[in-house]
């Protein structure tokens, strides 16, 4: 975008200087030839047009240097950048995000905005990008969607890799504790208890005794 500003300045400034030189020359000749008055008026009109063009270049510079949009409140007339190189101007005080609302006006047709997967029947604006069948389409200003990036054909299967080296054998685990053994059976108050070698004593159901 700075290149565009430079090109505009290069186009307008020489015309303004040339017009000033011509106007001074006509003013000198006017004293000798009164019939040059219509030419002077025409040159003045041309000067106003060129001055307006120079003012537009200055205004354009302010838009080129516009900050990126962030969450917040924006006053009417503020210009911001959003998405990928798109410019928006607030037409009213707003806290909404630029794009689909009525409080922002898009400036120009440059830039892109990714809209996700393509939806049949949906309306898209110039610069919208949509994903379709693994490829990317772009909405143009003069027509419909055009292919921007197309998915390539499936590649050939790769060669089977060589088998890896066998891993090292893991270390032996620690020996577990010995299980408890039944030491004796005791009867108490009509209940049979099993006494184990670890000191535990548990009642037994009589149905479990053969």
Segments making up each domain of the chain, as ranges = 2-64, 66-109
- Is the confidence at residue 7, as pLDDT, over 50? yes
How confident is the model at residue 148, as a pLDDT?
Answer: 85
Q: Could you tell me if 88 and 101 are in contact, meaning their C-beta atoms sit under 8 angstroms apart?
A: no
- Strongest mean pLDDT among 16-20, 37-41, 170-174: 170-174
How confident is the model at residue 73, as a pLDDT?
Answer: 95
CA distance 91 to 88: 9
The arrangement of secondary structure in 66-109, i.e. its CATH architecture, is: Ribbon (2.10)
- CA 31-34-40 angle, to 5 degrees, is 90
- Is the confidence at residue 164, as pLDDT, over 80? yes
Cβ neighbours, 10 Å, residue 66 = 16
Percentage of the chain modeled with pLDDT above 70: 74
The model carries a pTM of: 0.47
Assigned token pair, 19? 């017009």
Lowest mean pLDDT among 2-6, 13-17, 37-41, 100-104: 2-6
Q: How confident is the model at residue 188 (pLDDT cuts 50, 70, 90)?
A: confident
Query: pLDDT tens digits, residue range 107-140?
Result: 888 899 999 999 998 989 999 999 998 899 999 9
Query: pLDDT tens digits, residue range 44-83?
Result: 777 676 676 666 655 555 556 789 999 999 999 999 999 9
């Amino acid at each position: 975008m700075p290149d565009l500003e430079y090109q505009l300045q290069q186009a307008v400034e020489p015309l303004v200087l040339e017009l000033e030189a011509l106007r001074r020359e006509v003013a000198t000749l006017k004293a000798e030839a009164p019939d040059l008055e219509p030419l002077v008026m025409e040159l003045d009109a041309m000067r106003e047009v060129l001055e307006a063009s120079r003012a537009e270049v200055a205004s354009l510079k302010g838009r080129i240097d516009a900050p990126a949009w962030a969450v917040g409140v924006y006053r009417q007339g503020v210009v911001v950048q959003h998405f990928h190189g798109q410019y928006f101007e607030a037409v009213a005080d707003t806290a909404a995000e630029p794009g689909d609302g009525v409080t922002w006006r898009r400036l120009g047709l440059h830039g892109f905005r990714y809209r996700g997967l393509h939806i049949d029947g949906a309306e898209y604006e110039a610069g919208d990008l949509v994903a379709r069948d693994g490829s990317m389409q772009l909405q143009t200003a003069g027509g419909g969607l055009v292919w921007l990036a197309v998915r390539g054909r499936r590649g050939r299967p790769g060669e089977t890799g060589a088998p890896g080296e066998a891993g090292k054998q893991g270390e032996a685990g620690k020996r577990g504790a010995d299980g408890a053994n039944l030491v004796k059976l005791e009867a108490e108050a009509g209940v049979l208890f099993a006494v184990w070698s670890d000191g535990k004593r548990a009642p037994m159901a009589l149905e479990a005794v053969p």
